[in-house]
Structure 1
Amino acid sequence: MSGNTAPKDGTVAPPDGQVDRQLLRIAFILVLGTFMATLDATIVSVGIDSLSEEFDASVAGIQWVTTAYLLAVVAAVPASGWLADRFGGRRTWLAAVGVFLLGSVLCATAWSVTSLVVFRVIQGLGGGLLPATGQALLARVAGPTRTGRVISVVAVVPLLSPVFGPLVGGSILGVAPWPWLFLVNLPIGVVAALLARRHVPAVPPSTRRAAFDLRGALLLSPGLAVLVFGLTEVAHHRTVPAVIGVSAGLAMLAGFTVHGLRTRGTPLVDPRLFARPPFGAAAVALLVLGASVFGTTFLLPLYFQTGRGMPAWQAGLLLAPQGLGAAAGSVLVNRTIDKVAPRTLVVTGIVLILAGTVPFTQLGHGLPDAVIASALVVRGFGMAMVGAPVMNIVYSRIEPAQLPRASGALNLLNTVGGSVGTAALAVVLQNRLSARGPDISAAFGDTFWWVLAFCLVAAAGATRLPRTEARKP
Structure 2
Amino acid sequence: MASIDSGLGAAQAGDTASHPTKLDGPLLKVAAAVIAGSIMAILDTTVVTIALQSLIVEFHTSFDTVQWVTTAYMLALAAVIPVTGWAADRFGTKRLYALALTLFLVGSVLAGFAWNIGSMIAFRVLQGLGGGILTPAGMTVLAKAAGPARVGRVMSLLGVPMLLGPLAGPIVGGWLVDSGGWRWIFYLNVPIGLLALALTLRYLPKDTETTGGALDTVGTLLLSPGVALVLYGVSGIPRSGGITPGVWLPVALGLLMIAGFVVRAQRIEHPLLDLSLFRNRRFSLAVVTMALFAVAFFGVSILLPTEFLMVRQLSALETGMQLLPLGIGAVVTMPLSGRLADRVGPGKVVVPGLLLIAAGITVFTQAGPDSGYATVLAPGLFVIGLGVGATMMPIISAALQVLDGPAVARGSTMANIIQQGFGAIGSAVMSIVLAAGLAGRFDVPVSQGQLVATTALADPARHATALGMVSDTFTTTFVWSLALVILCLVPACFLWRKPAEAVSAPVPRLKAGTVDGLS
Q: Provide TM-score, normalisation by structure 2.
A: 0.84
Unaligned runs of 5+ in 1: 1-13
| Of 213-222 and 323-332, the range deviating more from structure 2 | 213-222
Q: What's the secondary structure of 1:44's corresponding residue?
A: helix
Aligned partner of 2:516 in structure 1 is none
- 1:418 positional shift: 1.6
Aligned partner of 2:373 in structure 1 is 369
Aligned partner of 2:264 in structure 1 is 259
Q: 2:31 aligns with which of 21, 27, 30?
A: 27
Aligned partner of 2:138 in structure 1 is 134
Matched AA of 1:226: L
Aligned partner of 1:10 in structure 2 is none
Q: 2:189 aligns with which of 185, 192, 196?
A: 185
Q: 1:390 aligns with which of 395, 414, 423?
A: 395
Q: 2:384 aligns with which of 367, 379, 391?
A: 379
Q: 2:201 aligns with which of 186, 191, 197?
A: 197
Q: Check the 8 A contact 1:206/1:401 in 2, yes or no.
A: no
Q: Check the 8 A contact 1:34/1:158 in 2, yes or no.
A: yes
Q: Distance in 2 between matches of 1:265 and 1:471?
A: 25
Residues 346-365 of structure 1: matches in 2 within 5 Å?
A: 346-364=350-368
Q: What's the secondary structure of 1:398's corresponding residue?
A: coil
Matched AA of 1:229: Y
Identify if the C-alpha distance between structure 1 residues 314 and 149 changes in structure 2 by more than 3 Å, giving closer, same or farther. same
Q: Distance in 2 between matches of 1:315 and 1:162?
A: 12
Matched AA of 2:94: R
Deviations for 1:244-278, whole angstroms, at most 9, x for unmatched residues?
1222122222222222223x132222333334211
Aligned partner of 1:101 in structure 2 is 105
Q: Check the 8 A contact 1:349/1:382 in 2, yes or no.
A: yes
Aligned partner of 1:229 in structure 2 is 232
- 1:366 positional shift: 4.0
Q: Check the 8 A contact 1:36/1:188 in 2, yes or no.
A: yes
Aligned partner of 2:5 in structure 1 is none
- 1:378 positional shift: 1.1
- 1:152 positional shift: 2.2
Matched AA of 1:382: G
- 1:320 positional shift: 1.3
- 1:77 positional shift: 1.3
Q: Distance in 2 between matches of 1:16 and 1:30?
A: 20
Aligned partner of 1:325 in structure 2 is 329
Give the % identical residues: 38
Aligned partner of 2:222 in structure 1 is 219
Q: Check the 8 A contact 2:152/2:339 in 1, yes or no.
A: no
Answer with 1 or 2: which has the greater Rg.
2
Q: Distance in 1 between matches of 2:279 and 2:174?
A: 43
Q: Distance in 2 between matches of 1:34 and 1:434?
A: 38
Matched AA of 1:83: A
- 1:363 positional shift: 4.2
Identify if the C-alpha distance between structure 1 residues 142 and 453 changes in structure 2 by more than 3 Å, giving closer, same or farther. same
Aligned partner of 2:404 in structure 1 is 399
1:276 equivalenced with 2:280 (yes/no): yes
Q: Check the 8 A contact 2:144/2:404 in 1, yes or no.
A: no
Residues 104-123 of structure 1: matches in 2 within 5 Å?
A: 104-123=108-127
Q: Check the 8 A contact 1:31/1:154 in 2, yes or no.
A: yes
1:44 equivalenced with 2:45 (yes/no): no
Q: What's the secondary structure of 1:178's corresponding residue?
A: coil
Deviations for 1:278-319, whole angstroms, at most 9, x for unmatched residues?
111111222222233332222222222233321111111112
1:448 equivalenced with 2:451 (yes/no): no
Matched AA of 1:161: G
Identify if the C-alpha distance between structure 1 residues 160 and 470 changes in structure 2 by more than 3 Å, giving closer, same or farther. farther
Q: Check the 8 A contact 1:107/1:182 in 2, yes or no.
A: yes
1:436 equivalenced with 2:466 (yes/no): no
Q: RMSD of the TM alignment (CA)?
A: 2.1
Identify if the C-alpha distance between structure 1 residues 294 and 164 changes in structure 2 by more than 3 Å, giving closer, same or farther. farther
Aligned partner of 1:6 in structure 2 is none
Identify if the C-alpha distance between structure 1 residues 273 and 16 changes in structure 2 by more than 3 Å, giving closer, same or farther. closer
Unaligned runs of 5+ in 2: 1-17, 443-465, 504-519
Q: Distance in 2 between matches of 1:124 and 1:366?
A: 41
Identify if the C-alpha distance between structure 1 residues 331 and 434 changes in structure 2 by more than 3 Å, giving closer, same or farther. same
Q: Distance in 2 between matches of 1:399 and 1:415?
A: 23
Q: 2:493 aligns with which of 448, 451, 463?
A: 463
- 1:109 positional shift: 1.3
- 1:159 positional shift: 1.7
1:414 equivalenced with 2:446 (yes/no): no
Q: Check the 8 A contact 1:164/1:323 in 2, yes or no.
A: no
| Of 395-404 and 177-186, the range deviating more from structure 2 | 395-404
Q: Distance in 1 between matches of 2:28 and 2:43?
A: 21
Q: Check the 8 A contact 1:162/1:294 in 2, yes or no.
A: no
1:250 equivalenced with 2:255 (yes/no): yes
Aligned pairs, how many? 459
Identify if the C-alpha distance between structure 1 residues 196 and 373 changes in structure 2 by more than 3 Å, giving closer, same or farther. same
